[in-house]
């Protein structure tokens, strides 16, 4: 039987109620992020700040990972302040910061992913590397800086990166969510799927395709072992160009609606105000140039992979490990991860000679 330790359970339950209180006060996400980050930093001692705060220009800003700490190369370490070194009130303030950027669904997904560490802790004979509190917060620059600043919340199977430019423009990529197990197979949480919609709509779309459409959509009989982009700091666009898969224009209306729903599954983890802004800049939901590609088996429970690709964005999903019960899903921006495009535009306008 899988049980969550009482202190951890209390912490998770407390964290889950935070978005309700936060969302009830309509406001500006960027301002709320700055306020939440300041409150967290003000609670820290000097040694904690030394771990939590980096310059906006520091290379650690793009040093992101979704593996457990011990598997991170070269030194098996993550940078930032882990919640294992925080007081209870600091953990609450950390979850408050996380909630400022995510929708209710996104926050629920985030907390569910972290809670799966306790499931793995039990399944792996109390493995010490599995801990729902072993997640890190890192602040880059000064919260609220009108030029640029950012923050990250990260640990095993989770990396949420925000970059804020000119006090209003928000980048959310790269953003990674994983789940192991993808479906809990035993214990009190049996049947839980933390990333169920990512599989549901990807599979629904591929199974709706005609044989002729599948000739374009299915790019390989065997799925890759993991998402192709891995933990790359910048996506190598040449790997994905020219784009493969079935084109949006070659889908019927019902299939197009499924594809739109799939894109929204990834985007709607973030607050609507942020998603609207991203769409206005990048035409996130204008799918005229989108392609959907699938690799691997069409049978449930067997290894599979898909990607949704636009000229701007890439969404990848892979479920091949642990007998195809281990999901990795990522949203990348070919030219704008870590706000690179926003920062470049800001520099060109305000700092060019």
CA distance 119 to 132: 9
**Is residue 70 a part of any domain in this protein?**
yes
Q: Are residues 139 and 86 in the same domain?
A: yes
**Is residue 52 a part of any domain in this protein?**
yes
**pLDDT tops 80 at residue 345:** no
Host domain of residue 55: 6-173
Looking at residue 83, its pLDDT comes to 97
**pLDDT tops 90 at residue 25:** no
**Is residue 119 a part of any domain in this protein?**
yes
Q: Report residue 76's pLDDT band, with 50, 70 and 90 as the boundaries.
A: confident
Residue with tokens 């904690």: 48
Q: Are residues 156 and 245 in the same domain?
A: no
CA distance 204 to 265: 13
**351: how many CB neighbours lie within 10 A of its CB?**
8
Q: Are residues 40 and 146 in the same domain?
A: yes
CA distance 302 to 323: 7
Lowest mean per-residue pLDDT among 22-31, 197-206, 270-279, 338-347? 22-31
Looking at residue 346, its pLDDT comes to 54
**Is residue 301 a part of any domain in this protein?**
yes
Looking at residue 154, its pLDDT comes to 98
Instruction: Say how many domains are in the chain.
Output: 2
Q: Are residues 104 and 248 in the same domain?
A: no
**Is residue 353 a part of any domain in this protein?**
no
Q: Are residues 257 and 307 in the same domain?
A: yes
Q: Are residues 203 and 318 in the same domain?
A: yes
Concatenated DSSP letters of 295-308: EE-SSTTS-EEEEE
Q: Mean per-residue pLDDT for 345-349?
A: 55
Q: Are residues 165 and 235 in the same domain?
A: no
Rounded to 5°, angle at Cα 157 from 284 and 172? 30
Q: Mean per-residue pLDDT for 303-313?
A: 96
CA distance 137 to 33: 13
CA distance 246 to 257: 14
**pLDDT tops 50 at residue 7:** no
**Is residue 183 a part of any domain in this protein?**
no
Q: Are residues 115 and 228 in the same domain?
A: no
pLDDT tens across 112-162, in order? 999 999 999 988 878 888 999 999 999 999 999 999 999 999 999 999 999
Lowest mean per-residue pLDDT among 41-50, 228-237, 343-352? 343-352
CA distance 231 to 109: 21
The enclosing H or E element of 152 equals strand 148-155
**Is residue 186 a part of any domain in this protein?**
no
**pLDDT tops 50 at residue 4:** no
Q: With a threshold of 0.75, does the pTM exceed it?
A: yes
Do residues 107 and 177 lie in contact, with contact meaning Cβ atoms separated by under 8 Å?
A: no
Tell which of 115, 139, 173 closes a domain: 173
pLDDT tens across 159-216, in order? 999 999 999 999 999 999 999 999 999 999 999 999 999 999 999 999 999 999 999 9
Q: Are residues 248 and 212 in the same domain?
A: yes
Q: Tell me the pairing of strands 53-54 and 135-140.
A: parallel
Q: Are residues 24 and 143 in the same domain?
A: yes
Q: Are residues 166 and 210 in the same domain?
A: no
Tell which of 173, 206, 241 closes a domain: 173
Q: Mean per-residue pLDDT for 46-69?
A: 96
Q: Are residues 256 and 154 in the same domain?
A: no
CA distance 55 to 65: 19
**Is residue 341 a part of any domain in this protein?**
no
């Amino acid at each position: 039987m899988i049980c969550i330790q009482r202190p951890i359970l209390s912490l998770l339950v407390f964290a889950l109620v935070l978005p309700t209180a936060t969302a009830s006060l309509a406001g500006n996400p960027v301002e709320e992020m700055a306020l939440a980050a300041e409150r967290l930093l003000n609670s820290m001692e000097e040694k904690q700040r030394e771990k939590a705060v980096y310059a906006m220009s520091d290379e650690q800003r793009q040093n992101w990972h979704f593996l457990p700490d011990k598997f991170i190369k070269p030194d098996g370490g993550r940078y930032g302040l882990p919640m294992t070194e925080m007081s209870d009130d600091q953990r609450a303030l950390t979850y408050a910061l996380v909630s400022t950027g995510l929708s209710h669904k996104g926050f629920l997904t985030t907390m569910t992913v972290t809670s799966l560490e306790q499931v793995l802790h039990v399944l792996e004979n109390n493995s010490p590397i599995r801990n729902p509190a072993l997640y890190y917060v890192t602040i880059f620059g000064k919260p609220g800086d009108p030029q640029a600043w950012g923050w990250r919340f990260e640990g095993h199977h989770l990396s949420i990166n925000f970059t804020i430019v000119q006090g209003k423009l928000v980048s959310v990529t790269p953003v990674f969510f994983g789940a192991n197990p993808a479906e809990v197979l035993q214990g009190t949480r049996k049947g839980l799927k933390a990333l169920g919609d990512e599989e549901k709509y990807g599979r629904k779309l591929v199974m709706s395709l005609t044989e002729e459409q599948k000739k374009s959509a299915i790019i390989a009989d065997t799925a890759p072992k993991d998402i192709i982009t891995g933990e790359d700091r910048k996506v190598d666009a040449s790997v994905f160009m020219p784009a493969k898969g079935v084109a949006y224009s070659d889908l019927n209306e019902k299939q197009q609606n499924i594809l739109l729903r799939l894109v929204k599954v990834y985007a709607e983890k973030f607050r609507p105000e942020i998603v609207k802004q991203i769409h206005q800049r990048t035409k996130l939901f204008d799918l005229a140039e989108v392609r959907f590609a699938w690799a691997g088996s069409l049978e449930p429970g067997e290894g599979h992979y898909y990607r949704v690709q636009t000229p701007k964005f890439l969404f990848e999903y892979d479920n091949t490990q642990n007998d195809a019960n281990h999901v990795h899903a990522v949203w990348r921006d070919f030219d704008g991860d870590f706000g690179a495009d926003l920062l470049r535009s800001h520099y060109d306008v305000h700092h060019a000679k």
